[in-house]
Chain A
Amino acid sequence: MRNEADINRALQMYADTVRRICFMHLKNRSDVEDVFQEVFLKYALHEAAFESDVHERAWLVRVAINACKDVLKSFWRRRVSSLEDTDITVSDEYKEVLDAVLRLKPPKYRNVIYLHYYEGYKAAEIAVILGQKENTIYTWLDRARKQLKTLLGGEPDGR
């Protein structure tokens, strides 16, 4: 198991990233806590060294997305479908955008929008993280953008 200093450093660097991924998929606080703790426990138990911070971040993103998927496999767990479902408070300025992201369906479109627009990953990198073909990611991004455009009544910029 990694030492506490290592875990503290990871929490400082990646806690927000993991929390954002949880935000896009999980409705209630206890599920968020479960996934958040599980992701960092897996990190603590992953004793192999990462090649770089980029590699480390990508590993945590993948683990977090998979952990959310696992939680949502339970039949009775309801998926988050709007900002009102979450316990997050954001300024009115961003409420509309975040609400539009949460309304993206299927939920995998939320991942590509977040990873591409916020984390700054290219389609090829997202393909590696999500274990998909690069072309699939392009398709998902395209469809997600179109949905966002409809939801927001405007046109999101491409990269």
Chain B
Amino acid sequence: MEDKIRAAFAELHADEALIDDTLAYLRKEAKKRQKGRKKFAIPMRLGAVAAMVLLAVGVFSYNLYFTAAAHISIDVNPSVELTLNRFDRVIGTYAFNEDGASILNEASLRGKAYDEAAELLLSTIEANGYIVEDSLISVTVQAASIEKEQTLCESLLQFISEKILPVQASAEIEVFPVTADVWSNAHGCHVSPARFLAIQELMEADDTAALEDYADTSIRQIRRRTQECRDGHTESNDSNSESDPQNEQGHWQGNGHGHGYRGGR
């Protein structure tokens, strides 16, 4: 039986037509695949180049967008800073003190144009009751070029004056540029550049003054203390010893607002 089965299967062959048709089919398939490969060769190469260009543009744009180009520090008492990219959009925020941190928690500023962010920031500060009669709003700008700093300063002074003065006519506004060194030293001491410069002036007038002692003191109080030292007074820096703020405004182009410059550029 085994032989019979083997012999019976041996009778079965693939006929010539089947083999020829299969060969013809395989040749056709081979040509089709070769053509397909050629057809895709150029588009694939182009696709790869396009993908690389897109990737490079993407990385470049990402770097461009997320590279810091300017820093605007606002010190009311909440003391905060906005980091802008070269398109004047906020790419980072920083709080120098707890009040600043709570303000930043309330206001979502990332991605916003700097004027929009500053408006939101100031309105949040105002809504939280920090801008009161005779408040001093110190704004510093640090940018890569003096021109850029000037533009931002002018624009911010005008903008903040328009927003704040109708609400608090007696508020004092100062906007001035600072050097990269001042900015970096201020950050090293965890105070805003405006407060850093104010403390430095106090330290020049009072040998016993230390930066740590005045880090949480408002700029206005620091300046009063400095003035007191210059005037020959040596009383404590206790805030209760504040004199009438209106009397001090002359130094900062008073009468409500001004654009001061204190040791920056």
Contact = CB atoms under 8 A, between A and B. Distances in A.
Nearest to B3: A157
A154 B13 CA distance: 27
Interface in B52-78: none
B27 interface: yes
Contact of A90 (B11, B21, B30): B11
Contacts of A118: 5-6, 9-10
B33 interface: yes
Tell me whether chain A's interface is mostly helix, strand or loop, or mixed: helix
Given A7-B26, A15-B19, A152-B1, A97 B13 contact: no
A81 B19 CA distance: 25
A45 to B, nearest CB: 9
Contacts of A91: 11
Most buried by A among B6, B10, B18: B18
B2 interface: yes
A91 B4 CA distance: 12
Contacts of A156: 1-2, 5
B35 to A, nearest CB: 13
Interface in A106-159: 113-114, 117-118, 148, 152, 154-157, 159
A71 interface: no
Nearest to A87: B15
B6 A11 contact: no
A1 B12 contact: no
B216 interface: no
A44 B12 contact: no
A75 B229 CA distance: 102
A16 B14 contact: yes
Contacts, number: 86
B38 to A, nearest CB: 14
B8 A94 contact: yes
Contacts of B127: none
B42 interface: no
Contact of B25 (A4, A37, A113, A155): A37
B189 interface: no
Interface string B74-102: 00000000000000000000000000000
A67 B9 CA distance: 20
A1 B30 contact: yes
A50 B244 CA distance: 98
A72 to B, nearest CB: 19
A97 B26 contact: no
B158 interface: no
B64 to A, nearest CB: 47
B5 A18 contact: no
Interface in B94-120: none
Interface of B: 1-2, 4-14, 18-19, 21-23, 25-27, 29-30, 33
Given A97-B5, A157-B2, 10 more contacts: A4-B26, A19-B18, A36-B14, A37-B25, A40-B22, A44-B29, A94-B4, A117-B6, A117-B9, A118-B5
